[in-house]
Structure 1
């Protein structure tokens, strides 16, 4: 049994995947609240959309997209691990997952601003 130290990149990828999933789950009630404003009237939705234009909300949206991308890339890494078995290139897969997540967040940020 291969016991990797907690400083190993694959352990850090595991932690990022779990934490991003948890944070996304905590975001869901806020998302449902925002959707609720859309069905409760045009005035409430317009007020919410005006609030969403502030820089703090834009930063939170960017972080959310990075979390989504990190969780997706980490999940794909786990699927590759499940179906392909342990490879010596796990560190490369971790780096690729992190790079993809940050790239998606940057592209989103550039399109938002």
Structure 2
């Protein structure tokens, strides 16, 4: 391993890259469960109601908050990538990375407040 490899992995752009990929994988894992629940609505109303009642548990509320956080993080990370690809950049734009993460956090906390009240 080269000496500068470790420094590159602590760079803000690399961390933003990793968070974007991880959030994408986690959203992909969530989708089959989401489609399964939606499929219950096609079967009958009682099956959907039973699943939705099960989802009222606190662990699922926390998971719902994480879902919104990762969705916002992934969307803003994608916008950051589009800006990098289509705009002339000179050096690292740490502000864009921080703004993406901060906005994702704010959106998810607003959602958390909404579901808790």
Common topology (TM > 0.5): yes
Deviation at 1:50, TM superposition (A): 0.7
Alignment-derived partner of residue 68 in structure 1: 71
Q: How many Å separate the matches in 2 of 1:32 and 1:71?
A: 20
In structure 2, list runs of 5 or more residues that go unmatched. Answer: none
* RMSD of aligned Cα (Å): 1.4
> What TM-score results when the alignment is normalised by the length of structure 2?
0.90
Q: How many Å separate the matches in 2 of 1:16 and 1:89?
A: 17
Selected match of 1:41 from 41, 44, 53 = 44
Alignment-derived partner of residue 22 in structure 1: 25
Alignment-derived partner of residue 109 in structure 1: 112
> What TM-score results when the alignment is normalised by the length of structure 1?
0.93
In structure 1, list runs of 5 or more residues that go unmatched. Answer: none
State the 4+ residue runs in structure 1 displaced beyond 2 angstroms: 85-89
